[in-house]
Amino acid sequence: METLNTGTDELLARLDARVATITLNRPAKRNALSDRLTPALRQVLLDLEQRDDVGCVVITGSGTAFCAGGDVSGMQEDIPPDGEGAPQNPAAKLKQLIHRQETLTLRLHQLAKPTIAVLPGVAAGAGLCIALACDLRIAGQSAFVTTGYRNIGFSGDYGGSWLLTQLVGPATTKELYFTGRRVAADEALRLGIFNTVVSDDQLPAAAWALAQDIANGPAEALGYMKKNINAAADSDLRTSLALEAERLLRCADTADHREAVAAFLEKRPPQFNQS
């Protein structure tokens, strides 16, 4: 196992058997974002994307929370603290917030690796957006989500309105934004916000098994799958067919494809990502 340096103890990261685990580590604040944690998270995502020995990225929170969103106690400016001094010019404020969003949830949504959010507890506001930007979400029975923005007089940020709409549709998204109510684990599973819910004590093992299964799959093919599915949200069928055809032909030239065919013929499990 390799411990990765994030530059702050508010964000922990390690790499083990092709699974990179990022842990938001402010348990006393329910892992709320901060001007140290969030820039570190942006940077570690960039670093992990470049590594061939990373097959899956897991994001979780320490203690009994995933991420409570912005730290309300630190909201002295018009936008939450996030690692840079808040500019006073309205146009500069807008530019800064757009940059923050694009370099966190957009980057996570488009990351070239499969991503899993593991929720031991609450995901609220921007913390919910981080979970939604991941490809899959597995939660403990005690977990719940809330948009939370109405409770602090905000309309929403970090792409939650788009990300949630992709999963549950506009009517349910509006209800969850307008009311800010808690959505318990079982309801989140029924709505499609969570992919899997397990008992709290089973969460670490279940998350590890899922991450291992994905991390040891055909990396290039999985990356193309993610791109195809992401593009489908904004594409018609003809465009999707063309993208799938191009990327499938690229996969046909990979060592992983040749190994999978050989394994099928030899009636054995394939061994992907072999150097």
- Residue 72: pLDDT band with limits 50, 70, 90: confident
Q: Nearest 5°: CA angle at 36, between 73 and 107?
A: 105
Fold of 219-265: Lyase 2-enoyl-coa Hydratase; Chain  A, domain 2 (1.10.12)
Structural contact between residues 55 and 273, judged by C-beta atoms closer than 8 angstroms: yes
Between CA 84 and CA 35 the distance in angstroms is 7
pLDDT averaged over every residue in the chain:
94
Residues 101-154 pLDDT 10s: 999 999 999 999 999 999 999 999 999 999 999 999 999 999 999 999 999 999
Percentage of the residues of the chain whose pLDDT score is greater than 70: 94
Measured CA distances, 212 to 56, 85, 216, 252 (Å): 8, 40, 6, 24
- Residue 87: pLDDT band with limits 50, 70, 90: low
Structural contact between residues 45 and 108, judged by C-beta atoms closer than 8 angstroms: yes
Please compute the mean of the pLDDT values over residues 28-56 and round it to a whole number: 96
**H/E stretch holding 197:** strand 196-198
Between CA 237 and CA 242 the distance in angstroms is 9
pTM of structure: 0.93
**H/E stretch holding 213:** helix 203-215
Q: Classify residue 165 as left (phi > 0), alpha (psi -120 to 50) or beta.
A: alpha
Percentage of the residues of the chain whose pLDDT score is greater than 90: 91
- Residue 77: pLDDT band with limits 50, 70, 90: very low
Residues 175-228 pLDDT 10s: 999 999 999 999 999 999 999 999 999 999 999 999 999 999 999 999 999 999
CATH for 2-215 (3.90.226.10, 3.40.30.120, 3.90.245.10, 3.30.460.10): 3.90.226.10
Between CA 257 and CA 37 the distance in angstroms is 39
Structural contact between residues 224 and 254, judged by C-beta atoms closer than 8 angstroms: no
- Residue 270: pLDDT band with limits 50, 70, 90: very high
Structural contact between residues 60 and 66, judged by C-beta atoms closer than 8 angstroms: yes
Tell which residue, 233, 248, 5, 212, has the closest CA to residue 133.
233
What residues have CB less than 8 Å from 123, skipping those under 6 apart? Answer: 65, 66, 67, 117, 130, 131, 143, 144, 145, 146
The pLDDT of residue 78: 45
Between CA 15 and CA 214 the distance in angstroms is 14
Structure-model confidence comparison of residues 45 and 85, the more confident one: 45
Structural contact between residues 130 and 108, judged by C-beta atoms closer than 8 angstroms: yes
- The structural domains of the chain, with segments of one domain joined by +, span 2-215, 219-265
- Residue 71: pLDDT band with limits 50, 70, 90: confident
